[in-house]
Amino acid sequence: MKIIDIVEKTVSLKSDIRNAYVDFSQMTCSVVAIKTDFIKDGKQVIGYGFNSNGRYGQGALMRDRFIPRIEAANQKDWIGADGFLDPLKINQAMRVNEKPGGHGERSVAIGTIDMALWDALAKAHGVPLWHLLAERYNNGKSDKRVFVYAAGGYYYPGKGLEALKQEMRGYLNLGYDIVKMKIGGEDIDADKARIEAVLEVVGDGQRLAVDANGRFDLKTAIAYAEMIKPYDLFWYEEAGDPLDYQIQSVLSEIYPGAMATGENLFSVQDARNLIRYAGMRSDRDWLQFDPPLSYGLVEYLDTLKMLEDHGWSARRCIPHGGHQFALNIAAGLGLGGNESYPGVFQPFGGFADNTEVKSGQITLPDVPGVGFELKSNLWNEILKEL
Amino acid sequence: MKIIDIVEKTVSLKSDIRNAYVDFSQMTCSVVAIKTDFIKDGKQVIGYGFNSNGRYGQGALMRDRFIPRIEAANQKDWIGADGFLDPLKINQAMRVNEKPGGHGERSVAIGTIDMALWDALAKAHGVPLWHLLAERYNNGKSDKRVFVYAAGGYYYPGKGLEALKQEMRGYLNLGYDIVKMKIGGEDIDADKARIEAVLEVVGDGQRLAVDANGRFDLKTAIAYAEMIKPYDLFWYEEAGDPLDYQIQSVLSEIYPGAMATGENLFSVQDARNLIRYAGMRSDRDWLQFDPPLSYGLVEYLDTLKMLEDHGWSARRCIPHGGHQFALNIAAGLGLGGNESYPGVFQPFGGFADNTEVKSGQITLPDVPGVGFELKSNLWNEILKEL
């Protein structure tokens, strides 16, 4: 098995939504296809990858550094015990001559390629990625059903409370049990009204998570904690700057409910610092590290090992990103679930076309690889052309 | 004053040296020229910038995100109280639609542009950058002489102890008092022999710093600490991964000598975590944050404020990078000194041609801007052509 071509392309993430930090109308995304010489069931094995939303496409870094390192290598050194290309070895090779620290951007470039390598590997084996991961890393155990929540509630121009409620009603009608909305893009009183509007729809605080996207300083983070405490929400996400472990730690002293963070930490070292310093509580808090933004599944395996060493179960992980790759990882490695974007970040957000959400859970298709070919907008509009 | 053109170019950092992590023969560097419509003393004001070594050129990120944001802006909004373009406002504008966390690569792209903006601003004022900084931020006080140390002692193929000693003798002959060498690229016994060889040349442990470039795990970091303790070295630099604050903290318990780190932390948030968690000792340790790798001088000013809030003097800062920009910052803001690469990373390493090192200190030229025009290899080979 040999990589014979790597195609990458930058596409626009057309969207008029925003969170407390980012206007997504300018956002880009990288897609890659890794073409191998391996034929499985009469078909050339090609792996696909893309980076999840929020951190821009990284085609230039791939072209400048990571793809040339793959092309320059002797691929025979990368063959694993199964006779196929080993993503772990290729990940290491991409990171030669990279200094430690500074985990951003390049972690996205490598993570996107890593996604494609795992897709190719599972296809070469002729099995779904979740199956391959369960066999390799989880004693053969995979989850038949995976918890997903509907992430939405973004700000966009002219969106009022009624539109917000309607959006949330739509998610419940799709079969979601738990929804998430943004906070921090307006003042606290306006956000309180937005939260109460959504609670009218979902009925119970445990069916609503709120996400500040790292916007708040300590004082504001505390004020919001006090404001939302009576609602007993499903979680309070990324209140402060993702690297301000002290804010997180202070909140864990004063806020009894669950909190979630991690989508903007892109290495096992950063994740370890969160665990060491942020006072996260392993009995209730959630960790949202997103593999394609963070050097890929290879690094994520190290992160899960680090978590285990610190007494955390993989069940506390619900990755950011709403993509099929993390969904496979959730099912195969027994995570707590996965984010889902029923309404946004198309065609990247979402899962296979025929995926039905029942009581907030979904089942993965039984096809080789990640399953991109079953998500027709992503497949037809983008991946098929690579 | 208006920016009328931004030119950027990626150049190779040709070099056959290596440290414990990086082979520099593949390394690239970005250079930028920011051309303004402002004429000072009959000359168009053009600011220049480049990123210091070790983290690759970032031309693609500049072209994709940061230069377009500058071009799309209404520059009138950026005019400061002095009537000129305000680097603080432009830095903020470049960071619109960037999520928090993930500080690497983009911090280099922005930092490189920031360097050029400060060069232009000082030229518009007709004063050296060190002078402008002293006036704005340091009550008019600047250092007439700045401490510099000679960073070298890299590994390269076939380099033996005799060549290492000769290299170090060369630095002393140039007027340096203190030299730095790499460790961690060979085993501990070989490194011990290398250290002892250099000590034969410099005579006193306080004239030698050693730098592991983040290579060691906890056990190795401790073993090296024990090995070097008797030599009473000037500092022990970046023993462990730059984000592993725990290694640093453990070392500060068992190693009484000075330590140094920070060149691979690229934001005020990361720097603050180092101060919060790494057990660094404000009476003896050194902080090496490098402005052009870290969103520029704008972020560095925030970092100095954060340090002051935590009881650290700016005198404990000796930036990584060996460039004229940090040298100006050191003189103008009263840092502890600056790195110097007398032998490597040409033409970017080093200072104005006529700079004389006396007792390990240098004086800055009194010309407008950073002073790039007085470094003839950098000016003639690269900047002049932009």
Residues in B touching A54 (Cβ below 8 Å): 99
B131 domain-assigned: no
Asked whether the beta carbons of A36 and A70 are under 8 A apart, the reply is no
How large is the average pLDDT for residues A220-233?
A: 98
pLDDT attached to residue A202: 98
A-chain residues near B241 (CB < 8 A): 100-101, 269
- What are the tens digits of pLDDT across the range A320-358? 999 999 999 999 999 999 999 987 888 888 999 999 999
Do B197 and B66 lie in one domain? The reply is no
Of the pLDDT bands very low, low, confident and very high (cuts 50, 70, 90), residue A17 is confident
β-strands B28-40, B3-12 pairing: antiparallel
Residue B171, domain member (yes or no): yes
What is the spatial distance between Cα A170 and Cα B145, in angstroms, rounded to a whole number? Answer: 68
The reply to whether B306 and B358 lie within a common domain is yes
Task: State which of B94, B126, B158 marks the end of a domain.
Answer: B126
A320 is annotated as an active-site residue: yes
Contact B172, B162 (CB under 8 A): no
- Whether A231 and A191 share a structural domain: yes
More confident residue, B135 or B54: B135
At residue A306, does pLDDT exceed 80?
A: yes
What local confidence, expressed as pLDDT, does residue B290 receive?
A: 98
Q: Do B246 and A98 touch (CB under 8 A)?
A: no
Q: How many structural domains compose chain A?
A: 2
Nearest to A337 by CA among A265, A281, A285, A288: A288
The more confident residue out of B24 and B354 is: B354
Which residues lie below 8 Å from residue A277, measured CB to CB, with a gap of 6+?
A: A245, A246, A249, B245, B273, B276, B277
Question: pLDDT value at position B292?
Answer: 97
Token look-up 């989850």 returns A143
Confidence label for B165 from pLDDT (cuts 50, 70 and 90): very high
Domain boundary among A102, A126, A150: A126
Q: Are residues A334 and A220 in the same domain?
A: yes
Q: Tokens representing A188?
A: 């606290």
Q: Please indicate whether residue A159 or residue A41 has the higher confidence score (pLDDT).
A: A41
Give pLDDT, residue B156: 86
Query: Which residue type is seen at B337?
Result: G
CATH number at residue A331: 3.20.20.120
Residue B13 has pLDDT above 80, yes or no: no
Identified catalytic residue from A35, A103, A180, A320:
A320
- The answer, for B349 touching chain A at a CB cutoff of 8 Å, is no
Q: Which two tokens stand for residue A145?
A: 């059903």
Q: Is residue A131 part of a domain?
A: no
Which chain B residues touch A100 with a CB distance below 8 Å?
21, 213-214, 241-243, 264
Segment holding A87, helix H or strand E = helix A87-94
In a domain, B262, yes or no: yes
Instruction: Assess whether B121 and B142 both reside in one domain.
Output: no
pLDDT per position as a tens digit, A165-197 = 999 999 999 999 999 999 999 999 999 999 999
Q: Quick one: average pLDDT of B178-187?
A: 96
3-state per-residue secondary structure call for B307-358: HHHCCCCHHHECCCCCCHHHHHHHHHHCCCCEEECCCCCCCCCCCCCCCCCE
Of B22, B105, B246, the CB nearest to A276: B246
| pLDDT exceeds 90 at position A385 | yes
Q: Which of B226, B250, B224 is nearest to B237 (CA)?
A: B224
Domain end marker among A76, A108, A126: A126
Query: Smallest Cβ distance to A242: which of B100, B105, B272?
Result: B100
- Predicted local distance difference test score (pLDDT) of residue A54: 87
Helix or strand holding residue A287 (H, E)? strand A286-287
Q: Which residues pair with A35 in a beta bridge?
A: A5, A46
Residues 6+ apart with CB under 8 A from B281: B252
- The kind and range of the H/E element at A381 are helix A376-381
What's A65's DSSP letter? I
Q: Which of A53, A99, A265, A274 is most worth mutating to test chain B (most B CB atoms within 10 A of its CB)? A: A99
Residue A192 lies in a domain: yes
**Each residue of B298-314: pLDDT tens digit?**
999 999 999 999 999 99
Q: What is the 3-state secondary structure (H, E, C) of chain B?
A: CCEEEEEEEEEECCCCCECCCCEHHHCEEEEEEEEEEEEECCEEEEEEEECCCCCCCCHHHHHHHHHHHHHHCCHHHHECCCCCECHHHHHHHHCCCCCCCCCCCHHHHHHHHHHHHHHHHHHHHCCEHHHHHHHHHCCCCCCCEEEEEEECCCECCCCCHHHHHHHHHHHHHHCCCCEEEECCCCCHHHHHHHHHHHHHHHCCHHHEEEECCCCECHHHHHHHHHHHHHHCCCEEECCECCCCHHHHHHHHHHCCCCEEECCCCCCHHHHHHHHHHCCCCCCCCEECCCHHHCCHHHHHHHHHHHHHHCCCCHHHECCCCCCHHHHHHHHHHCCCCEEECCCCCCCCCCCCCCCCCECCEEECCCCCECCHHHCHHHHHHCHHHC
- Tell me what pLDDT residue A18 has: 75
For chain A, give the mean pLDDT.
Answer: 96
- The answer to whether A72 contacts chain B (CB < 8 Å) is no
Q: What is the DSSP letter of A177?
A: S
Q: Is A305 helix (H, G, I), strand (E, B) or coil?
A: helix
B-facing residues of A in 177-196 (CB < 8 A) are none
Indicate if the pLDDT at residue A128 is higher than 90: yes
b/e for B119-138, b at 16 or more Cβ within 10 A?
bbbbbbbebbbbbbbbeebb
Nearest-Cα distance to chain A for B263, in Å, is 9
Cβ–Cβ gap B245/A273 under 8 Å: yes
Task: Tell me what pLDDT residue A346 has.
Answer: 84
Q: Is a pLDDT exceeding 80 seen at residue A13?
A: no
B288 vs A22, residue with greater confidence:
B288
Q: Are residues B102 and B211 in the same domain?
A: no
- Same domain assignment for residues A234 and A376: yes
Q: Which two tokens stand for residue A244?
A: 């301000």
Same domain (yes/no): A181, A228: yes
The answer to whether residues A172 and A34 belong to one domain is no
Whole-number pLDDT of residue B207? 98
Other beta carbons within 10 angstroms of residue B244's beta carbon come to 24
CA distances from A201 to A75, A159, B302 (A): 55, 17, 44
Give the nearest partner residue to A56 out of B65, B242, B243, using CB atoms: B65
Among B23, B71, B99, B217, most A C-beta atoms within 10 A, so best to mutate, is B99
Whether A318 is in a domain gets the answer yes
Query: Is the Cβ pair A266, B101 closer than 8 Å?
Result: yes
pLDDT band per the 50, 70, 90 thresholds, residue B345? confident
Residue B182: active-site member:
yes
Task: Judge whether residue B241 has pLDDT over 80.
Answer: yes
Alpha-carbon torsion (A17, A21, A26, A30), positive or negative: negative
Here the tokens at position A243 are 């690297």
Which helix (H) or strand (E) covers residue A300, if one does?
Answer: helix A296-309
pLDDT tier for residue A106 given thresholds of 50, 70 and 90 = very high
Do A173 and A76 lie in a common domain? no
- Interface residue B103 vs chain A (CB under 8 A): yes
pLDDT at position B54 over 90: no
Q: Could you give the CA distance from residue A262 to residue A274 in angstroms, rounded to a whole number? A: 8
Answer whether A155 touches B (CB < 8 Å): no
Find the residue in A nearest to B22 (Cα): A97
* Same domain membership, residue B148 and residue B56: no
At residue A159 the predicted structure's pLDDT band, cuts being 50, 70 and 90, is: confident
Is residue B223 domain-shared with residue B251, that is, in the same domain? yes
The model scores a pTM over 0.90: yes
Nearest 5°: the CA angle A22, A242, A274 is: 155
Residue range of the domain that includes A257? 136-385
Q: Specify the pLDDT at position B159.
A: 86
Cis before B87? omega within 30: no
A291 vs A297: CA distance, rounded Å: 5
The verdict on whether omega for the bond into residue B347 sits within 30 degrees of 0, i.e. cis, is yes
DSSP β-ladder status, B145-151 and A28-40: unpaired
- CB spacing of A105 vs B100 below 8 angstroms: no
Question: Cα(B57)–Cα(B67) distance, rounded to whole angstroms?
Answer: 15
State residue B197's pLDDT score: 98
CATH number at residue B68: 3.30.390.10
Residue A104 touches chain B, beta carbons under 8 Å:
yes
Q: What is the pLDDT of residue A262?
A: 98
Report, as an integer, the average pLDDT of A199-218: 98
Is B375 in CB contact (< 8 Å) with chain A?
Answer: no
For residue A264, pLDDT over 90 is answered with yes
pLDDT for residue B26: 83
What does the pLDDT look like over B359-378, one tens digit per residue?
999 999 999 999 999 999 99
Averaged pLDDT for residues A278-301: 98
